[in-house]
Amino acid sequence: MSRFVTKTTDEWIHFFESEVPNHVTDTRWEHIKRVAKFAEQLAKFHFFPDPKRAYLAGLVHDTTKQKKWEIHESLFSEFSLNVDSIPKQAYHAYSAPLFLQREFGFYDKEIHSAIQNHTLGSLSPTLLDQIVYAADFLGSDFCQKQSELPNWIQKTEENLYFGIFMKAFQTISFLMEKKEVIHPNTFFTYNHALQSLKETK
Ligand SMILES: [Fe+2]
Ligand SMILES: [Fe+2]
């Protein structure tokens, strides 16, 4: 693993700030920058020890979002990752860490996990998983159009489960509307965040 630790966090940030835009559209890049900033901000509010690493996780979380199926497939096959139970909309979350590792030699276990879990949620999320999950919601195109956004940001700064709940709620509503399959991790994330919010009221 040591051979992958070739740059400091600041160096990786510098590198990916110029590299990631080569892989996504301008609109997606704007989303990514918002998510990185929200992740850093939430890391400070919720005592994640290294907010710059949260920023870095946000910066790379959607790197393969717009890649063709063949790219995802070659990564899953190369890394022997079974994605039978993963819905298509989450493929990029599973392929991005592998892409970052293969293409750039970037591997960070904690960031790898946060990227992988940012779409479906997780049954046992780490603090960074939760930060990136909530930041992905606050930085979404959907949120940019909502007048309630400043209030949602404040509530998520006060209680991370608010943003987590909102993202799971939004994901489930969206998928139900389209009569799409909903992954059990997303239902779990919704229930767990809602329960946690009720307990802290
Ligand atoms: Fe994503
Ligand atoms: Fe995203």
Mean pLDDT (the chain, rounded): 96
> What are the sequence ranges of the domains in the chain?
9-199
Q: Separation of 115 CA from ligand 2 center, angstroms?
A: 9
Q: How far apart are CA 12 and CA 114, in angstroms?
A: 16
Q: Cα dist. 70→23, 75, 80, 178 in Å? A: 15, 9, 15, 25
pLDDT per residue as tens digits for the range 2-56 = 455 579 999 999 999 999 999 999 999 999 999 999 999 999 999 999 999 999 9
pLDDT tens digits for range 60-88: 999 999 999 999 999 999 999 999 999 99
Residue 35 CA, ligand 2 centroid: distance in Å? 7
Nearest bound ligand to the CA of residue 95: 1
Ligand 2 centroid to 199 CA: how many Å?
29
- Whether residue 126 is predicted with pLDDT greater than 80 in this model: the reply is yes
pLDDT at residue 5, as a whole number: 55
- For the question of whether the overall pTM of this predicted structure is more than 0.75, the answer is yes
Class of domain 9-199: mainly alpha
pLDDT of residue 33: 98
pLDDT score at 6? 78
| Tokens, residue 164 | 């987590």
pLDDT of residue 2: 47
Picking from 6, 46, 3, the residue whose alpha carbon sits closest to that of residue 134 is 46
The full length of the chain comes to 201
Using pLDDT thresholds of 50, 70 and 90, give the confidence band for residue 131: very high
Centre of ligand 1 from the C-alpha of residue 63, in Å:
8
Nearest to 20 by CA among 53, 59, 56, 48: 59
Radius of gyration over every alpha carbon of the chain, rounded to an integer in angstroms: 16
Residue 189 alpha carbon to ligand 1 centre in Å:
16
- CA neighbor of 131 nearest in space, from 103, 88, 94, 162: 162
Question: What is residue 145's predicted lDDT score, i.e. its pLDDT?
Answer: 96
Q: Find the DSSP H helices in 122-159.
A: 127-138, 141-144, 149-158
97 and 79 in contact (C-beta within 8 Å)?
no
Percent of the chain with pLDDT over 90: 95
